[in-house]
A and B are shown apart, each in its own frame.
Chain A
Amino acid sequence: MGAIILIATDELRFWRRSKIAWTVLVTLLLVSTCAALVSNVEVSRRAEERLAQQAEADAIFQAQPDRHPHRMVHYGHYVYRAASPLAVIDSGIDSMVGTSIFLEGHRQNSATFAAARETGLLARFGSFSPAFVLQALAPLLLIICGFASVTREKENKTLYQLIGQGVSGNKLVFGKSLALWVVALLAILPLLFLGFSSTGSDNFGFRQSLYSMTFGYLIYLSVWVLLIVSVSALLRTSAQSLSVLLGLWIVTVVLMPRIASEYASASAPSPSQIETNLRIAETMRAGGDSHDIEDNAFVDLRSVTLAEYNVESIEDLPFNYRGFVALRGEEADTEVLKQFAQERMSQELRQKSIADSFSLFSPVVAIRSFSMALAGTALQDHHHFLRAAEDYRFNMVQTFNRLQMSEMTLAEDLARNDGDEAGRNTRVNSSNWAEMPVFELRPLDHTQRWGAASSSGFAMGLWLIVAFGLLLLSSRQLRS
């Protein structure tokens, strides 16, 4: 152990003297800290913006005057997606998906106004977040620090001196790795601090997710450290080592994520929104128009209901039959909508898992997915938001439909257009809108996030084993 530490400290001392390594270290720490600060400001600004918009939408909704409940079904409501506290570390798909959904009766709108669309061209160049720095830039800087760690000893003919003094190949590569690993550790620190400060008082286990995430980045950077030292030990010259490592970086960091997503979208293509909408419309047509109680689709409902309440006509029912049809109609519509939404989400998850399988070719694909999942900014979190919004929509609409059932008679409802007096009879007190619970998104909890991250975590474990194996292999080569 002593020899390993000695080699590590010696390597660190060398970096301090060498201009390039020193520049790299300072750059890495600077960039990593800046990213943490900038990201913190940016993400909190966006989060506050959305909170303000949600508050505004809630206020407008609650201030609606007395109205016929079905007017409110069509008036609808806006909900906004609150940002995860760990979005400061990895904003994930946040900018790619819409931030708000308009909720109304009879239909499911998509989330609109994605930031990426408003930003334009630059949206795809990455983001200045700790996650991007650690995933893409840190490996590059580690390469520039460490590509010559062993080849330098070969080129200066000091390697055989060291081995002659009884330093084993293993100890040499472990020592070199340790030195590089210290750098990696320093790079991760800003992430930990930032995450710690932004997950102050939450009940959804974001602290735990932060720890898991930090651990994930530690493994990821360790994989790079081991790969860098292995390559440096395997090759003859520093120049060779550098070109191989840069090539590796280009392929895994720059190319692989795009190849993975192209492959996924080509091998499991998803139907266009319009095509789906047409299919939804076709399916819903069979369900009838719930605005019209005479619609043929509700003939059965009428006879069953009359029999159940043992009355002769719908006028004798103890509630407003129009409201009842609206209630049942919405139920049937929602069934269809949910089924299509589920289909689309499964398709997206299928594409994601195809893309994630490229983790085996690139640790970057693995850490991207791992980090997003734990940050609560991944696909499953967006789906969770969509489901929560849909549940909220359904409850809201059904609350209005129940008001229509209970707050007026069928005769009053049918006569609602016959003058002001009749119109007033079918209006429901505005306090009902103000009492509607506001939309609050309960994020997924740590176990669910971990569940989504685990397969990528497993892939990173494999990479660590492979990289470690390569290191041992490379040290064997040093001896001969």
Chain B
Amino acid sequence: MNMKYRIEQELFFLLKCRAVLGVLALLLVVSGVSVVLGLNYVAAERQQIAELVQLDNEERAYKRSLAYDYGGAAYDAFHAVWNPPSELAFAAIGQRDLNPTMMRIRALAIEGQIYETDSVNPELALAGRFDFAFVAAYLLPLVIIFVFYDLLASERESGRLNLLSVTARNSRILWLPRILLRFVGILVAILVPLWIGIFIEGAAFGLLFGASFAVTLLAVLWTGLVLAIATRPVLRSESIAAISIGAWVILTLAIPISGKVYIESSVSGVKGAEVALVQRESVNDAWDLPKSVTMDAFYASHPEWADSAPINEEFHWKWYYAFQQVGDESAAELSRDYRAIMLVRDELTARVSFLSPAVAIQRQLETLARTNLSASLEFEDQVRSYHEEIRRAYYPVLFSEEPFSSERLAQITIPGFSNSAQLAVE
């Protein structure tokens, strides 16, 4: 009885085992559906972004045609920013549905603009997405449990175990082919749709390898766990199934939820609403403060305009944009703290992922797909620096108090938003 013969033999057994084949087919279908849904999702996002960019340009050009002063032109000029899905985003949509994928920002205080969210139907969002990461985190372990729980017990309960053990030269040649074959079957069923998706999206080989490796690791882990339970000779197959499901509940539901409760109750600090409130207060207070207070604060951070003429009027656009900027500066520390808290939560989530493979695989896939927190914060940084570019573009005409002319306004050009993720798509 050599290995090759045994594998052929097991393949024959497997093909006759309807229950296992059925579950593998189901996994293939479910994984396929998740990939199709993910692909549709990112396609719809790209479509929306393309439409936005078009609409945005038209709207801005129209507004600019109505302008009669520089300050007003800047006030009305919204600029689109967007965070396009990466080539692997279809597999792990992550928090993309809650974080804004696109915004329109203008030269006013950024803290008042950056927390706007896109419209999501909260009741649909609550259920979570049916993406590949979900299939890997939740269903893959369940399929593994189903395929392996009665590997030994079924033979024992049907009375064949002793006979098999006697005929086989060693237990390795008896069990290894069967385990290996089923394991490969599971991997093929879950990964092939992913590979097709990656091929369609044209993602790099590194991503394909990374995602497949993570899924394989998860599968090895669960197979090991289930086999460890299943090979306990005292257990009946029902008990093995019940214990494995218990392990699944603990690892996939109980630990993440407890982790969430722990994180939410232990990490408290700046609330987003506070940042917005502080910025708002600063901007509003400025109307009642002497103009020199605002302007001095502004010139302190923008010394290049410090020799701009003093303001005698009740209202001046350069003062208006100065207090917007001072508002941002006054909320900057809170804003940084707010981000820092999110990062602390993320760090704790990383620790939870050591205890829960479901959290680990989601984190890993979201990291590869750039749909995680750091990608979202990176987008925020890009928006902030683009915002700076926008406001600084208007400062020369405002602070040197150039008389208004459409020709001069036309010279103020701000290149469209671009980000690294997008370059990777094209």
Contacts and interface: CB of A to CB of B under 8 A. Distances in A.
Interface in A199-257: 238-239, 242-243, 246, 250, 254-255, 257
B282 interface: no
B134 interface: yes
A124 B249 contact: no
A114 interface: yes
A127 B345 CA distance: 17
Contacts of A278: 55-56, 59
A2 interface: no
A305 interface: no
A55 interface: no
Contacts of B280: 76, 102
Interface string B234-254: 000111011001100100110
A281 B78 CA distance: 12
Contacts of A418: 314
Contacts of A116: 95, 98, 125
A355 B288 contact: no
A254 B138 contact: yes
A122 B256 contact: yes
Interface in B337-362: 341-342, 345-346, 349, 352, 358-359, 362
Given A112-B115, A277-B104, A78 B257 contact: no
Contacts of A162: none
Contacts of A45: 265
A211 B341 CA distance: 40
Contacts of B260: 119, 122-123, 125, 127-128
A352 B276 contact: no
Contact of B52 (A99, A258, A272, A355): A272
Interface in A36-91: 38, 41-42, 45, 49, 53, 57, 60, 65, 67, 71, 74-76, 78, 80
A366 B44 CA distance: 29
Contact of A71 (B124, B271, B287): B287
A265 B117 contact: no
A382 B122 contact: yes
Contacts of A121: 94-95, 346, 349, 359, 362-363, 366, 372-373
| Residue of B52, B119, B271 contacting most chain A CB atoms (<10 Å) | B119
A127 B257 contact: yes
Interface in A125-141: 125-128, 132, 136-137, 140
A274 B102 contact: yes
Contacts of A297: none
Contact of A128 (B129, B249, B258): B258
A98 B276 CA distance: 13
A54 to B, nearest CB: 10
Contacts of B373: 120-121
B158 to A, nearest CB: 11
B117 A273 contact: yes
A272 B118 contact: yes
Interface in B218-245: 237-239, 241-242, 245
Contacts of A239: 150, 154, 157, 237-238, 241
B284 interface: yes
A281 B37 CA distance: 32
Contacts of A423: 314
Interface string B313-340: 1110000000000000000000000000
Given A78-B273, A110-B116, A260-B127, A266 B37 contact: yes
Interface size class of A (residues with CB under 8 A): 35 or more
B242 A348 contact: no
A275 interface: yes
A296 interface: no
Contact of B238 (A102, A148, A261, A355): A148
A137 B272 CA distance: 34
A135 to B, nearest CB: 12
B342 A120 contact: yes
B238 A147 contact: yes
A372 to B, nearest CB: 8
Contacts of A344: 119
Contacts of B30: 255
B264 interface: yes
Contacts of A323: none
Interface string B113-135: 00111111111111111100010
Contacts of B288: 65, 67
A96 B117 CA distance: 12
A348 B123 contact: yes
A113 B115 contact: yes
A84 to B, nearest CB: 14
B139 A254 contact: yes
A275 B51 contact: yes
A379 interface: yes
A273 B118 contact: yes
B207 interface: no
| Residue of B259, B271, B362 contacting most chain A CB atoms (<10 Å) | B271
Contacts of B402: none
Contacts of A57: 277
A124 B138 CA distance: 12
A110 to B, nearest CB: 6
Given A20-B239, A78-B277, A258-B127, A351 B95 contact: no
A391 B157 CA distance: 69
B410 interface: no
A280 to B, nearest CB: 12
Interface string A321-362: 000000000000000000000001000100110010000000
B67 interface: no
| Residue of A148, A255, A269 contacting most chain B CB atoms (<10 Å) | A255
Contacts of B284: 71, 74-75
A245 to B, nearest CB: 10
Contact of B119 (A60, A110, A117, A148): A110
B142 interface: yes
Contact of B281 (A42, A60, A352): A60
A242 B362 contact: no
B359 A122 contact: yes
15 contacts: A53-B273, A60-B281, A112-B276, A120-B346, A121-B94, A121-B372, A122-B349, A242-B238, A261-B127, A269-B44, A274-B102, A275-B48, A344-B119, A355-B123, A417-B313
Given A102-B276, A122-B359, A246-B146, 17 more contacts: A110-B119, A113-B272, A114-B117, A118-B272, A121-B373, A125-B253, A128-B260, A144-B242, A144-B246, A239-B154, A254-B142, A258-B130, A262-B130, A272-B48, A276-B119, A352-B123, A418-B314
Interface of A: 20, 38, 41-42, 45, 49, 53, 57, 60, 65, 67, 71, 74-76, 78, 80, 92-93, 96-100, 102, 109-110, 112-128, 132, 136-137, 140, 144, 147-148, 238-239, 242-243, 246, 250, 254-255, 257-262, 264-266, 269-278, 281, 344, 348, 351-352, 355, 372, 378-379, 382, 416-418, 423
Return the 5 tightest CB-CB contacts between A and B, nearest first.
A417-B314, A125-B256, A96-B122, A113-B272, A261-B124
